[in-house]
Structure 1
């Protein structure tokens, strides 16, 4: 690892990012424009001490998982991402694998829609980015191991990801939703034949989930369309929301949003979640990689 260039890049890009673009409050007493070290650590899911050691060149050989988390936290372009990977002595992600990169413009857009629960998923339905309202509606994904932060594991698995998923009903029917998800994963497997994470996900779920295996063998095509979902929340009870899946051209990402009609009973419940101080959570845009020390 080129420790000097990695640390220089990390510090320079941290100083460049405006906290508002990361969904963080910008205190009038803040002298510097960029992120504080502890803010970067929080956004990337790392310890402050580890970030300090990376910047000072005292930590060597960060994993690809850590570099990916830093890339998202700093909202790097693809070219900058590749530069950071190389500075860490790693090969940048290849075209045959699922790209976890979330473009800076998408992060800024999502961060500024703070009133709406938003989650950004990769092509294999791994959750990459979420905001504060997502946490308030669904629970904090950072409490779940990164491997389990995958929608297919949440639906068909038996691990911590499945336990994280709150009780939910779909107006289109749960079977239709599951079929559409499996069909989307089939398409992803065809597009990314070299992706080990996606291959391992499919192998594991076909082995452990009869329903996933059945759908994998029988579903031809299905589309993840807009849906009305009812989520059982431990504080506000059942809340019905419109769930929309938006795609990002050229990035192969899925942006999942939850909205309610203004003035409705469900909107009042969502407002309770927005305003409840007792439900305070990490800042918008948190994307975690765990403590990589």
Structure 2
């Protein structure tokens, strides 16, 4: 028998989903059409779970849903703080210390992002991905995940395959940026959470100790990255960061191939 409170939460969640316009999502969606609402299948695809698993959530079934899944639901539906808190507590999780859907890119920045023909995305101070263009989602699928975080991914086993010569060419620079940001924004609880997660990854604790000098003389240097849809061999790319004047809350990042003849299909 379903718990009445969870069943009621499921009804509210269904209403929130039906009110979410797919056109308002901050990145490409894995479906086509002109609907003005998200289906349960849409949610499942965006979350990376089965439709049956997501449907159980809306039915009010208690299946011990992972925190990452609930984070993704709150993010996809852009739930305001009170709704997000109800969702977290109703599924047995503590609400995040930061408001769900905090700082967001404005329409002008999103328009520029989606015009790009290079891998491009927008993230916040904690490197949570807020929006990604279609090219980025195609060549770096992890960017389109509901819980995508640049630093969490960059130190994962998956990243060490796509970021070639990872320890020598990528890890030091990325770790330097992460730890400087950690010092710069000590009140950012989400950033602290990301740092703690990264430091638990294999080999990172030792790397952290070896790279205390975060000065980087060639931080804009081209580095090898593998894109199987572009070329059979790694492509050297430069990572450029842009932002709104005087605004440190958002980063707009673009990957540009060193070779101007390389194009992202």
TM-score (norm 1): 0.62
> Which residue among 208, 220, 228 is the counterpart of 1:234?
228
* Correspondence 1:199-238 to 2 at 5 A: 199-202=196-199, 204=201, 208=204, 210-215=206-211, 217-219=212-214, 231-237=225-231, 238=235
For residues 78 and 111 of structure 2, what CA distance do their matches in structure 1 show?
12
Aligned to 2:154: 154
Higher relative contact order, chain-length normalized (CA < 8 Å, sep 6+): 1
For residues 199 and 188 of structure 1, what CA distance do their matches in structure 2 show?
15
Cα displacement string for residues 142-177 of structure 1 (whole angstroms, at most 9, x for unaligned residues): 899x79x6536635x6x3332243568xx9x98656
Q: Shift of the alpha carbon at 1:208?
A: 4.4
Instruction: Give the paired residue count.
Output: 251
Name the SS of the counterpart of 2:254 in structure 1: strand
* Correspondence 1:243-258 to 2 at 5 A: 243-246=240-243, 252=249, 254-258=251-255
Please tell me whether the aligned partners of residues 237 and 255 of structure 2 are also in contact (alpha carbons under 8 angstroms).
no
Aligned to 1:282: none
Q: Shift of the alpha carbon at 1:104?
A: 6.2
Cα displacement string for residues 27-85 of structure 1 (whole angstroms, at most 9, x for unaligned residues): 25x4xx21111111111222111121111112454333221110111122334322322
Cα displacement string for residues 113-137 of structure 1 (whole angstroms, at most 9, x for unaligned residues): 4353333445444557644322333
Name the SS of the counterpart of 1:265 in structure 2: coil
Aligned to 2:177: 180
**Bigger mean CA offset, 19-28 vs 33-42:** 19-28
For residues 108 and 4 of structure 1, what CA distance do their matches in structure 2 show?
40
TM-score (norm 2): 0.68
- Any unmatched runs of 5+ in structure 1? 274-293
RMSD after superposition: 4.6
> Which residue among 102, 119, 122 is the counterpart of 2:121?
119
Name the SS of the counterpart of 1:119 in structure 2: strand
Please tell me whether the aligned partners of residues 120 and 254 of structure 1 are also in contact (alpha carbons under 8 angstroms).
yes
> Which residue among 69, 83, 95 is the counterpart of 1:80?
83
* Correspondence 1:1-293 to 2 at 5 A: 2-22=5-25, 23-24=28-29, 27-28=33-34, 30=35, 33-95=36-98, 101=101, 110=110, 113-116=113-116, 117-121=119-123, 123-125=125-127, 130-138=132-140, 140-141=141-142, 150-151=150-151, 154=154, 159-166=157-164, 178-188=175-185, 191-192=188-189, 195=192, 198-202=195-199, 204=201, 208=204, 210-215=206-211, 217-219=212-214, 231-237=225-231, 238=235, 240=237, 243-246=240-243, 252=249, 254-258=251-255, 265-266=261-262, 269-270=263-264, 273=265
The 1:192/1:58 distance shift into structure 2, 3 A limit, reads closer
Please tell me whether the aligned partners of residues 120 and 127 of structure 1 are also in contact (alpha carbons under 8 angstroms).
yes
Name the SS of the counterpart of 2:114 in structure 1: coil
Please tell me whether the aligned partners of residues 9 and 84 of structure 1 are also in contact (alpha carbons under 8 angstroms).
no
